[in-house]
Amino acid sequence: MMLGRKQSLKGDQVLADYGPEESLNESADIEWVNKLWVRRLMRSCALISLLSVSLNTPKTFERIPPLQYITFCCDLVITFLFTAEMIAKMHIRGILKGEVPYLKDHWCQFDASMVFFLWVSIILQMFEMLGIVPRFSYLSVLRSPRPLIMIRFIRVFLKFSMPKSRINQIFKRSSQQIYNVTLFFLFFMSLYGLLGVQFFGELKNHCVLNSTDPHKVTINSLAIPDTFCSVDPDSGYQCPEGMKCMKLELSRYVMGFNGFDEFATSIFTVYQAASQEGWVFIMYRAIDSLPGWRAVFYFSTMIFFLAWLVKNVFIAVITETFNEIRVQFQQMWGIRGHMTNKTASQILTGDDLGWRLVTLDENKHNGLAPPICQAILRSASFRLLMMGVILANGMVTATMHFKHDERPRHLFYENYYYIEVVFTIFLDLEALFKIWCLGFRGYFKHSYHKFELLLSIGTTLHIIPQLYLSGLTYFQVLRVVRLIKASPMLEDFVYKIFGPGKKLGSLIIFTMCLLIISSSISMQLFCFMCDFNKFESFPEAFMSMFQILTQEAWVEVMDETMLRTRQTLTPLVAGYFILYHLFVTLIVLSLFVAVILDNLELDEDIKKLKQLKFREQSAEIKETLPFRLRVFEKFPDSPQMTCLHKVPSDFNLPKVRESFMRQFVFEVEEEENEGVIKKICEIFDSKVVYRKQRPIKLLSSLPKVRHVSTDLRKAAIIYIINDSNNQRLMLGDSAVIPVPGKSPLNPQGTISSAKQLRIDQKKSIRRSVRSGSIKLKQTYEHLMENGDIGAMNRVSSSRSRPHDLDIKLLQAKRQQAEMRRNQREEDLRENHPLFDTPLFLVPRESKFRKVCQMIVYARYDARLRDPLTGKERKVKYKRLHRDGSLKLNKMLKILYCII
């Protein structure tokens, strides 16, 4: 173990471990800094330090004076503990020398920097308490890095083990994508910054009184409201009578910080407008000062590219990066869950179709209620009744309203109170009924039942007269949430978004931690500003940073902060808020979109299943013949018989008529007959050449008599029929194909038993392959993956599991549908001489009909090589105008269909 640990601390790490404090846990000689209780104490100290720095503001000390001494004592104790830990680790590891020196570890460097800022904060607070440093001093900025100590508490949850090469690959690909989209963003920012300087320049022309001195401009000299104007009389806004358009040379603290004076200011204005916050006022300012087409073109294209395109590109990149990280961190995130019933026990059972899981005692509960109550609880009527009651309660509550006509408040809800009592009692009885039927253990197994019980307790307290229409009213309103169960689609949708709470919950916690850290940092940066309530204490700072996160009037927060800082620090303040806004809007909010899209994304198997299911349904619809062909089903059969004298074994068998098959096909149901049929069929299937017996010499020659039993005759006929059907199937002909779940004989009497077709399947395939049939090979490989048509019956059992359906089965069923359609058409064609002749004018064997058929099928084919074999075809004609031949062919087709 020691050797393994020493190797893991060297440069070539096999696993990357982002939990530095656990690196020495497995050592036999554990130092006190690496003990579990010490690490937990340090994490608690990190949280207390964050709380202390969040309370360390002048305004907070004015409201609660004892907090100044409490925070000082807490910081002093925490600083001594962290300092002792740092010294102990330096002693164990070494400062600059050793296997893992302290100052060469990144996390140790972070811990040392936090200790340094803790000592700076203690010294600064001591000077403030002694009066050496004023209360509202800019030196409070030195405390701003202290909130980052929260990372020490968070990093314990970021521990994971993964090959270092894979981690480097993730960071490399993710950083490359983010780097590319950042360059894309900066390109458009720079482009529109330069265009803004060239298009608009300084926008300082205002309408002022005619008697205004340019060096003494007051607010009374401006128009009401303040209006920008144009010096050019042919464009922009013209000042009214008694006023003139004058360029004002005032400070930015008076004129505002946005504009297009130079490149830096233009970039600032472009980002502010691209955030879609106040961009309309900047556009109207440009329209009033310059020709209107410039502002319309500039701002419309800027909103399209920067506000919409770049933002969506960021979302796409973050979504793709998150998906890649999710795949790599599958062990950390866990497998995507499905809505399954975990309380039901399942056993593995098998039948003729295959193996499947069967729920065992799914309706068995541990409650004390009789079986009739159990049946009522499971019935759909009971659920519909409860949904109706909850819907009625919501509708009654929605009609409650108040009027300000000086009447007592209780008069408005007096009748509603008794209605609410009735609903509450009814729903409480529902909860008791479920507990009675399911038992306490069975009831509390479901989270939904826990939510129902919480609502029942809250609403029961709510109907107490002293608590009615108090804060407990929220429990009454939350009853409407139960209506989600009324719609399975809505329930599944809500589960996909909120069900996998590990990802969404972790992202919410990350966002809250980011808000807390950024709020505390901003509070320490700007709390020294007098009469500025945006960051005077932690609650105000938290609301200001959350306001920037929601992009609601975030420019106002930035402008007010810039107005209260020095002119040299104004660009730094603007950069701070812009970077924070860029991070939370383009990355953090994009993470929410990525997580929700990942939750809503269907599995690839389910997508393929739905697509193939739709194809299967469309293929099954095409099984029906057109109406003009179905007419012949109403006529009696009048087939034309053919006499078959001799069948050579070296050639494919011809088609066998259905009427001929019906006379000899028989079914074997009893098990004892199967052995007899099997022996008879083995006579024809056997490939063993038996040695003939030596003839016996007798005194008198016996008469030659052939004895053929009835079973042997039937087996011979079945053998011929099955061999013919197998070859028709493999050659793609419209023949019989076994259908899973069908009876051995269809309505036309066709054999559809896969068991009978497997008897001589291999022999037919072998013979056809020897004959060089390429079509047979393609069809056979496409339909049968394991050399067995009957496998489709076994695969059909997967329909009980909707996510494990074999795609091969659906493809086979699609071809079966087409073959069954062709089979029906062939049956009608064999049994009706006038088939497919709607007008009944031309006989089937008419010479005119044959001539038309020959002309139709003699179509033009420009291919000089056979597409299947690749050999050169013998073409009798060399040149023929293609368009003319196609038109003639189409006309002949129409004529042929008519006759």
Task: Note the pLDDT tens digit of each residue in 485-495.
Answer: 888 888 877 77
Q: What is the CATH number of domain 501-601?
A: 1.10.287.70
- The Cα-based distances of 488 to 389, 394, 495, 540 in angstroms read 19, 20, 10, 43
Residue 350 phi, psi dihedral angles, 5° rounding: -130, 150
Which position has the token pair 């701070």?
576
Do 272 and 278 touch, CB atoms closer than 8 A?
Answer: yes
To the nearest 5 percent, what fractions of the chain are helix, strand and coil? Answer: 60, 5, 35
Helix (H) or strand (E) holding 244: strand 243-247
On the question of pLDDT at 793 being above 50, the answer is no
Q: Where are the beta strands (DSSP E) in 313-437?
A: 345-350, 355-360
The CATH superfamily holding the domain 345-482 is: Voltage-gated potassium channels. Chain C (1.20.120.350)
Peptide bond into 225 cis (omega under 30): yes
Instruction: Note the pLDDT of residue 797.
Output: 41
Q: Which residue has the higher pLDDT, 476 or 729?
A: 476
Q: What is the DSSP letter of 492?
A: H
Tally DSSP H helices, then E strands, for the chain.
36, 6
Which position has the token pair 């006929």?
717
Residues in the chain: 899
On the question of pLDDT at 94 being above 70, the answer is yes
Burial 729-745 (b: 16+ CB within 10 A, else e): bbbbbbbbbbbbeeebe
- Average the pLDDT over each of 229-238, 270-279, 358-367, 440-449 and give the range with the smallest value: 358-367
Do 798 and 804 touch, CB atoms closer than 8 A?
Answer: yes
- Given the DSSP bridges, would you call strands 243-247 and 345-350 parallel, antiparallel or unpaired? unpaired
Instruction: Note the pLDDT of residue 594.
Output: 78
pLDDT digits (tens, 9 = 90+) for 126-173: 999 998 988 888 888 999 999 999 988 888 776 666 677 777 777 777
Instruction: Note the pLDDT of residue 349.
Output: 61
Q: What percent of the chain has pLDDT over 90?
A: 23
Instruction: Note the pLDDT of residue 11.
Output: 39
On the question of pLDDT at 774 being above 90, the answer is no
Nearest to 395 by CA among 451, 456, 477, 454: 477
Mean pLDDT over each residue of the chain, to the nearest integer: 74
Residue 355 phi, psi dihedral angles, 5° rounding: -105, 145
Instruction: Note the pLDDT of residue 738.
Output: 45
Do 480 and 471 touch, CB atoms closer than 8 A?
Answer: no
Which position has the token pair 């989270």?
447
Q: Which residue has the higher pLDDT, 186 or 673?
A: 186
Bridge partners of 606? none
Tell me the mean pLDDT in the region 404-420: 80
345-482 shares the fold of 16-159: yes
What's the rounded Cα separation, in Å, for the pair 150 and 516?
A: 9
Instruction: Note the pLDDT of residue 28.
Output: 36
On the question of pLDDT at 188 being above 80, the answer is yes
Long-range Cβ contacts of 337-341 (<8 Å, 24+ apart): 337/499, 337/500, 338/803, 339/492, 339/495, 339/499
On the question of pLDDT at 692 being above 50, the answer is no
> Amino acid identity of 413?
Y
* CATH architecture for the domain at 169-204+250-332: Orthogonal Bundle (1.10)
Q: Angle 12-17-21 (CA atoms, 0-180°, nearest 5)?
A: 115
Identify the three-state secondary structure at position 571.
helix
Do 457 and 432 touch, CB atoms closer than 8 A?
Answer: no
Tell me the mean pLDDT in the region 452-472: 89
Pick from 158-167, 468-477, 502-511, 869-878 the range whose average pLDDT is largest: 468-477
Domain ranges of the chain: 16-159, 169-204+250-332, 345-482, 501-601, 611-667+675-682+710-831, 847-898
Q: In the Cβ-directed half-sphere of 246, how many Cα atoms lie within 13 Å?
A: 21
- Given the DSSP bridges, would you call strands 205-209 and 243-247 parallel, antiparallel or unpaired? antiparallel
Other beta carbons within 10 Å of 226 = 10
What's the rounded Cα separation, in Å, for the pair 185 and 309?
A: 10
* CATH architecture for the domain at 16-159: Up-down Bundle (1.20)
Helix (H) or strand (E) holding 161: strand 161-163
> Amino acid identity of 698?
L
What is the dihedral sign for C-alpha 386, 391, 394, 400? negative
What's the rounded Cα separation, in Å, for the pair 284 and 299?
A: 10
Whole-structure pTM over 0.75, yes or no?
Answer: no
Q: Which residue has the higher pLDDT, 669 or 440?
A: 440
Q: Where are the beta strands (DSSP E) in 249-392?
A: 345-350, 355-360
Instruction: Note the pLDDT of residue 606.
Output: 60
- Within 8 A by CB and 6+ apart from 37, the residues are none
Pick from 178-192, 705-719, 850-864 the range whose average pLDDT is largest: 178-192
Tell me the mean pLDDT in the region 243-272: 90
- Average the pLDDT over each of 116-125, 355-364, 423-432 and give the range with the smallest value: 355-364
**What is the Rg, in whole angstroms, of the alpha carbon atoms belonging to the chain?**
43
Nearest to 728 by CA among 768, 681, 781: 768
Which position has the token pair 């004390």?
368
Do 424 and 459 touch, CB atoms closer than 8 A?
Answer: yes
Identify the three-state secondary structure at position 518.
helix
- Helix axis angle, 414-443 relative to 380-398, nearest 10°? 150
Residue 363 phi, psi dihedral angles, 5° rounding: -100, 10
What's the rounded Cα separation, in Å, for the pair 471 and 805?
A: 51
Q: In the Cβ-directed half-sphere of 658, how many Cα atoms lie within 13 Å?
A: 24
pLDDT digits (tens, 9 = 90+) for 65-89: 999 999 999 999 999 999 999 999 8
Instruction: Note the pLDDT of residue 4.
Output: 38
